Structure 1
């Protein structure tokens, strides 16, 4: 029985984007940081570690382990960060399929509370678009974008200021994902080196990046990545390298205590039908890498028994609770 408990609580360790998973380890309690965590979070982590050691714990409902790891995320908020519409989805997103068919897209940001830190994934479309009720035209006329509720107002409603965000990462640097990046100049930036070189190099426009939207991040502390990365060192938030849409595109694995593991797609895929048929948009940076990244995520979903949250799939997004509701 003890051995089975141990095996159940061993989680998969992820390395770089080309190497297969090969490190497995027990979730651990960082005692040195325990005093900084809330009592509830500390109790959850302590219970997990005791269970991992094969000990029986009699305590409150706060003590639990899920999906073979000790989740250390307090909560996650899904923020509505814009919406867009194309009059012909086949013009880029589904080549040769649904020609002349219009499609609406959602655009979400994700705020994660981990101990005393706030981690923001993507910053959506620029809040400035909210002042334009007719929206703005983007992607060489393929899209019209709207912002109904600003990111800053949603953060304010949660009692979070941009300066409170300690860690930030973007799936990639297109304008509908970095529209408010300049607000977060004190956060540590996690970015694939290939994306950094493209976004902050002399030819950003070549990759359809608008450097004015994120120019202030040049002074941020930066962690340049070369593959998958464990943000907090406990497996709860894993950046997954998924290049193809852009040179250094990345997705995010979030291991939630109650809901379980969720993969945030970024633009690795845009909607469910494209995922099912492995369709690659025409304007992706690298078609072959895009396909490889989709297969990598498919394997990850199976291994983790995770949900895939497709950022621009409006129908799926409508079913996901939005802030101020928290997901745990």
Structure 2
């Protein structure tokens, strides 16, 4: 059957409005508290900019609602840390993502997609709590996950074929309506992505680890642990041009001041 379904009005056959022209569902964005990290900053610049400095970074993640479908963006630090004192590495988690979701009537099984910006532990720590979700992962990152032992416990379900997996090359239109896109920004890791969410109030660009804090963005810094300096700088350029051209609200995921640009959970940005 043609996508132009027919309507019979007053004896006349008229084409229906194409699906692409239908009003888009309202998209909502919620910020989640997914932990904090005490870090030494000397490795956050490969030019020695932060020698001797320390900082507490946030480990934030985000829930996107599109109609009755949900995307969880990143999964923070290990859920086993919830409610405990800081560990030896200075990592802290007040409560799990699942506990937060329960306060808005959701269960892990309600999450359709889990999008991962990159494979580092502070972005994948509670991935195992969402075994029924389709995992969206940069293909170049997945190639590392397959051979990097520290990632195996978090990714085991998908590595063994027990979970649904969609490997992302380039950008990815998550819901197929242009409202939410994974943005290809390699350099921090091989297949690193950011997330662009188009709200009625304006677009929001969520950084992944393109940057880690405001000063890092201001100077266009490159951490020494990034896998490719040239790719990082090219991704800085794309990120900034997207933010400028779309007039997007930028959220640096590790920057508490940026996270507070969004309403406090469980309020939503629309």
Smaller-chain TM-score range?
0.7 to 0.9
Task: Indicate the residue corresponding to 1:8 in structure 2.
Answer: none
Q: Which string of whole-angstrom CA distances, capped at 9 and with x for unpartnered residues, describes residues 258-314 of structure 1?
A: 2x1011100011111111111000001111111111111111112211111000012
How far did 1:136 drift?
Answer: 4.0
Contact 2:34 2:76 survives alignment (8 Å):
yes
1:177 corresponds, among 98, 106, 123, to 123
The DSSP-based 3-state class of the residue aligned with 1:177 is helix
How far did 1:215 drift?
Answer: 1.4
Task: Indicate the residue corresponding to 1:81 in structure 2.
Answer: 34
Q: Which string of whole-angstrom CA distances, capped at 9 and with x for unpartnered residues, describes residues 187-213 of structure 1?
A: 1121221111111x22x14xxx43212
Gaps of 5+ in 2: 6-17
1:216 corresponds, among 157, 177, 181, to 157
Q: Which string of whole-angstrom CA distances, capped at 9 and with x for unpartnered residues, describes residues 140-169 of structure 1?
A: xxxx21101221210111111111101111
In 2: Cα distance, 1:83 partner to 1:262 partner: 22
Task: Indicate the residue corresponding to 1:194 in structure 2.
Answer: 140
Q: Given the superposition, is the C-alpha separation of residues 73 and 131 from structure 1 closer, same or farther in structure 2, using an over 3 Å criterion?
A: same
Equivalenced residues, count: 254
The DSSP-based 3-state class of the residue aligned with 1:119 is strand
1:100-115 counterparts in 2 under 5 A?
100-115=52-67
In 2: Cα distance, 1:97 partner to 1:112 partner: 35
Q: Given the superposition, is the C-alpha separation of residues 247 and 130 from structure 1 closer, same or farther in structure 2, using an over 3 Å criterion?
A: same
1:125-274 counterparts in 2 under 5 A?
125-137=77-89, 144-199=90-145, 201-202=146-147, 204-205=148-149, 209-218=150-159, 219-258=162-201, 260-274=202-216
Q: What TM-score does the superposition give when structure 1 sets the normalisation length?
A: 0.72
Gaps of 5+ in 1: 1-29, 33-45, 51-69, 138-143
Q: What TM-score does the superposition give when structure 2 sets the normalisation length?
A: 0.87
Contact 1:71 1:256 survives alignment (8 Å):
no
In 1: Cα distance, 2:269 partner to 2:250 partner: 15
Contact 1:181 1:217 survives alignment (8 Å):
no
Task: Indicate the residue corresponding to 1:123 in structure 2.
Answer: 75
Contact 2:118 2:138 survives alignment (8 Å):
no
Answer yes or no: is 1:96 the counterpart of 2:67: no
The DSSP-based 3-state class of the residue aligned with 1:280 is coil
Answer yes or no: is 1:308 the counterpart of 2:250: yes
Q: Given the superposition, is the C-alpha separation of residues 191 and 325 from structure 1 closer, same or farther in structure 2, using an over 3 Å criterion?
A: same
The DSSP-based 3-state class of the residue aligned with 2:244 is helix
In 1: Cα distance, 2:170 partner to 2:121 partner: 23
How far did 1:104 drift?
Answer: 1.2
How far did 1:94 drift?
Answer: 6.5
Specify which structure has the higher proportion of strand: 2
